[in-house]
Structure 1
Amino acid sequence: MTRLSEATLGQIAPAIRRPAYDRAALKPGIVHLGLGAFARGHLAEYTEDALEKRFGAWGIVGASLQRPDQRDRLQPQDGLYTLQKLAPTGPELRVIGSVLDVLVAPENPAALVAQLAAAETRIVSLTVTEKGYCHDPATGRLRADHPDILHDLEQPDAPRSAIGLIVAALRARRLAGRGPFTALCCDNLPSNGHVLRGLVRDFAALQDDALAAWIEATGAFPATMVDRIVPATTEADIAEVARLTGLEDAAPVIGEPFRQWAIEDVFAEGRPAWDEVGAQMVTEVAPFEFMKLRMLNGTHSSLAYLGYLAGHETVAQASGDPVLARFLEGLWAEIIPTVPAPQGVALQDYAKALLVRFQNPAIRHRTWQIAMDGSQKLPQRLLGTIRDRLKAKAPIAHLALGVAAWMAYVSGIDEKGAAIDVRDPLAGEFQRRSEAAGRNAQALSESLLDIEAIFGPDLPREERFTKAVAAHLAALFDEGAKARAASLG
């Protein structure tokens, strides 16, 4: 089959939407660190829409920070790829043209720093996942002892972390007499713009106080809230896209129709017309971010652990299980009182809409995928809510079950006795503690709660929380996930 590319785009099935602007005239203006499926299904589509609405030099140069896979898939296609949006009523396909090139940081970090520092680069956006920020999730501060940070301090001209790359480029821009670019975090971190500003400033201060002061005074770090379910692309997805388009595409993206993007409107050198194509440019992102982090991300993670343990491969299967759907309703009932409603949003309606999105049978979002990197996600997604509920002396039964399900998951053994492929920066530590505790729920919960980087110094001392988690974990080991969820009513 013929491969998708600029030369073959005219051969694509007539019903497929394609770029409606002169792509040959498109110049780069954005460098995106971490060009995974989410960025290509969210940022790149918003940018595609903005280019069609108001054309400008806002092409995207992607950067892979670890592997060349994305570059190797996209370069033969001239950066083109298909976005397939899966609604219950059927798919909608579109070729995205806003990505112009992909660089691979480990192959040539200097080339990436040069692109970041170039005068044409006005926005540097990031989706590097929580663990890519080399920070302590419990405090939001830079981990100066992180191996990547230590490497970048020793080799500032060949950085490998996102933070090191940004600082190296800002240093080069300052030396060249240029202003800073806008650093736009699109990851699920609380106050993500504020956190990124602090991490960049703190890393710069380890090298040069004057550089850190310049970044603090002139840098632009807008907060954002992003939302779209973009599951990992499978071989079956690739085959289906080829069948529907008539062209081979090695890098399609699969997503739900829903998308949302709230952005603090603070940019150093302009931005695409995202506000004209659905993005919400706001003065305060925090209420939207807070709502999404607790109500979507917190339930997503809890459902992923319980669903995986119960044998459900996808979110749609797990949320379609009546027992787990009732658990989600109980979980939202505990979360909603801790969430101030953003202007114009009814939280009960938002929860109902989330359940509909979760249950979309066309989206195969794997529970295993969402379960990854829980040590980085739990502090933001669940533990803050638990602290608020404890302070209010309010029930935490459903929230505590989410934490206990995480513990059962990272123990590495599922309900049938099979090994779980636990992907987490602390996977080795989890394995060591789990092997020492065995299936003793009390011992395992105490051992995992002792990891201060996740639970802080306070939660292990909250007896109401620790007892609830230990009891849930024992029941998960003895009865299984569905039985324990059902017991909550």
Structure 2
Amino acid sequence: MKKAVHFGAGNIGRGFIGKLLADSNVAVTFADVNGPLVDQLSHDQQYNVRVVGNESKIDVVNHVTAVNSMSPELIEQIATTDLVTTAVGPNVLDKIAQTIASGLKKRFSIGNMTPLNIIACENMVRGSTHLKGEVYRHLDEQAQQHADNLVGFVDSAVDRIVPPMEAANDDPLEVTVESFSEWIVDDQQFKGEIPDIAGMEKTSNLVAFVERKLFTLNTGHCITAYLGCLKGHRTIREAISDPMIRNDVTQAMMESGEVLIQRYGFDRERHYAYIDKILERFANPFLVDDVSRVGREPIRKLGENDRLIRPLLGTMEYNTSNEALVKGIAAALKYTNDTDPQAIEVQSFLEKNGVVKTLAHFSGLDENGKEAESIESIYHQL
């Protein structure tokens, strides 16, 4: 049986990547800093996943265990594993790089020269390539040469809604996920044999799929959240059931979609069907996803390479319409959350500097450009 080390035993790790690996008869060792969660996984060596679409069913995930991310045992695991995956969030990738580097050094020191592939399954563009740069900072020249020959850092695009849920039946390991999932990997970056994992799709044009997901699912999701917050809706489903919000979100995804059609030659009708599918997913009655959770970390979401500004820049590049995207960005600037340090920072900066300077500071937009002016105008109307 093949082995994998998966960083991140949270809901996404257990409900998405960990499940796909285990379902393909891969023995998964989760690495996490949550001691009680690690202990429970190590003890039970299985957990339930509630998969919800038109109906709800329970799948049992087997072949799993867990180690603490700070444990020396994790280094030993990396030294002998066949695959490393992550679902820790973009901000944590840099923190696990040194551990991965230590595992690689151990791997080379014991003479394990079999290929290893590392796949960062994060909501970011070229996450594995970024992780490679951070890992290499902790490797000497000889170890880097070994890694160049033996270690593939495989970029991927991932898509599955896994909202936080209350523990079902007092079971802290059970997780709820939607039936839809998409895991697309760059088949040009593997070292050695590409693993056969059901649900992992291979492509030689990954960036198109990364941007399709970012510009559609991620863009639509956060605009739904920010507009929903403004109108007092609690969940994504409540917000997308509001006809006015649904119309704005649909238009925003059509605007970002036009960029994809222009840039990558996507079939227009097929992409519109993809947008319709995403709107159905937002309205899934089995998924209770708070708008406050989806809207969190507005600084990251307002970054020039993220889900709001990157598609806006695309509309500027191709001279296409962007009214709904502009409204979504204005709504993001309105987002308040006393438990979110990024939301607090944005509101503090806004209060002192105004809208256009805030956009320039966090998003890199030209404060004298017409898009910044449009966002400022709509901001004051919302």
Mark yes or no: TM-score above 0.5: yes
Please report how far the alpha carbon of residue 193 of structure 1 lies from its aligned counterpart in structure 2 after TM superposition.
3.1
Larger radius of gyration: 1
Cα pair distance change 1:124/1:431, threshold 3 Å: same
Looking at structure 2, the residues matched to 303 and 290 of structure 1 have their Cα atoms a distance apart, in angstroms, of 19
| Structure 1 match to 2:37 | 70
Using the alignment, how far apart are the partners of 2:3 and 2:199 within structure 1?
A: 20
Cα offset, 1:175, TM superposition: 2.7
Q: Does 1:40 align with 2:14?
A: yes
Q: Does 1:210 align with 2:170?
A: no
Rate the CA distance shift 1:115–1:49 in 2: closer, same or farther, 3 A: closer
For 2:266 and 2:12, the matched residues in 1 are separated by 24
Match of 1:455 among 331, 347, 363: 363
Alpha-carbon distance change, 343 to 31 in structure 1, aligned in 2, over 3 angstroms = farther
Q: TM-score normalised to the size of structure 1?
A: 0.71
Q: CA deviation at 1:198?
A: 3.0
1:305 corresponds to 2:267: no
Cα drift, residue 408 of structure 1: 0.9
- What secondary structure, in the 3-state scheme, does the structure 2 residue paired with 1:381 have? coil
* Per-residue deviation, 1:272: 4.6
Residues 1:104 and 2:64 are matched in the alignment:
no
Distance in 2, Cα, partners of 1:83 & 1:363: 13
- Does structure 2 retain, via aligned residues, the 8 Å contact 1:404–1:473? yes
1:249 matched to which residue of 2?
171
Determine if the alignment matches structure 1 residue 471 to structure 2 residue 377.
yes
- The residue type equivalent to 2:252 in the other structure is L
Please show how residues 140-219 of structure 1 align to structure 2 within 5 Å: 161-179=95-113, 181-201=116-136, 203-204=137-138, 208-219=140-151
Decide whether aligned partners of structure 1 residues 354 and 327 sit closer, same or farther in structure 2, where only a CA change above 3 A counts: same
Instruction: Please tell me whether the aligned partners of residues 307 and 315 of structure 1 are also in contact (alpha carbons under 8 angstroms).
Output: yes
Match of 2:214 among 278, 290, 293: 293
- After superposition, where does 1:318-333 map in structure 2 within 5 Å? 318-333=239-254
The 5 Å alignment of 1:321-360 reads 321-339=242-260, 340-341=264-265, 346-360=270-284
What is the SS of the residue equivalent to 1:190? coil
Query: Quick one: which of 46, 51, 63 aligns to 1:80?
Result: 46
Conserved in 2, the CA contact under 8 Å of 1:83 and 1:255?
Answer: yes
| Cα distance in 1 for residues equivalent to 2:158 and 2:108 | 30
Q: Is the 8 A contact 1:131 1:376 kept in 2?
A: no
- In the other structure, the counterpart of 1:152 is none
Given that 1:288 and 1:342 are in contact with CA atoms closer than 8 Å, whether structure 2 keeps it comes out as no
Higher relative CO (CA 8 A, sep ≥ 6), structure 1 or 2?
A: 1
C-alpha distance in 1, partners of 2:338/2:250?
A: 29
Aligned residues: 375
Q: Which residue of 1 aligns with 2:288?
A: 364
Q: In the TM superposition, what are the counterparts of 1:246-285 in structure 2 within 5 Å?
A: 249-265=171-187, 266-268=189-191, 270=193, 272-274=195-197, 277-285=198-206
The answer as to 2:333 corresponding to 1:399 is no
- CA separation of 1:354/1:341 partners in 2, compared to 1, >3 Å: closer, same or farther? farther
Question: Is the Cα–Cα contact under 8 Å of residues 220 and 250 in structure 2 kept in the other structure?
Answer: no
Give, in whole Å, the separation in 2 of the partners of 1:471 and 1:362: 37
Structure 1 residue 462 displacement after superposition? 5.1
Provide the rounded CA distance (Å) in 1 between the counterparts of 2:126 and 2:265: 17
Query: Taking structure 1 as reference, are residues 399 and 378 closer, same or farther at Cα in structure 2, changes over 3 Å only?
Result: same
1:331-369 deviations in Å (ceiling 9; x for gaps) = 122111111255898111111111111111111122122
Query: Counterpart of 1:199 in structure 2: which amino acid?
Result: E
Q: CA 1:50/1:272 → structure 2, altered by over 3 Å: closer, same or farther? A: farther
In 2, distance between residues paired with 1:71 and 1:447? 45
Within the candidate set 159, 169, 189, 1:227 is matched to 159
Question: Could you tell me which amino acid in structure 2 is paired with residue 448 of structure 1?
Answer: T
Q: Considering only aligned residues, what root-mean-square deviation do their CA atoms show, in Å? A: 2.4
Aligned-residue offset at 1:433 = 2.1
For 1:140, the equivalent position in structure 2 comes to: none
Q: Counterpart of 1:479?
A: none
Mapped contact 2:225–2:294 kept (Cα < 8 A): yes
Q: Unpaired runs of 5+ in structure 1?
A: 1-26, 52-57, 135-160, 240-247, 413-419, 438-442, 477-489
- How far residue 181 of structure 1 moved from its aligned partner, in angstroms, is 2.2
Shift, 1:463, TM fit: 1.4
Using structure 2 for the length normalisation, give the TM-score. 0.90
Q: How big is each residue's C-alpha offset from its partner over 1:203-228, in whole Å with a ceiling of 9 and x where there is no partner?
A: 23xx5233334433432012222211
1:445 CA displacement:
1.6
Amino acid at match of 1:423: D
Query: Residue type of the partner of 2:34?
Result: R
* Alpha-carbon distance in 1 for matches of 2:312, 2:212: 15
Identity of aligned residues (%): 23
Q: Evaluate the alpha carbon distance shift between residue 378 and residue 428 of structure 1 in structure 2; reply closer, same or farther with a 3 A threshold.
A: closer
CA contact 1:122–1:270 (8 Å) conserved in 2 = no
Q: Structure 2: any 5+ residue segments left out of the alignment?
A: none
CA offsets 1:5-40 (integer angstroms, 9 cap, x no match): xxxxxxxxxxxxxxxxxxxxxx66100111211121
Q: Secondary structure at the match of 1:363?
A: coil
Give per-residue Cα distances to partners, 1:123-180, cap 9 Å, x unaligned: 110111121234xxxxxxxxxxxxxxxxxxxxxxxxxx11111112122222333235
Deviation at 1:421, TM superposition (A): 3.3
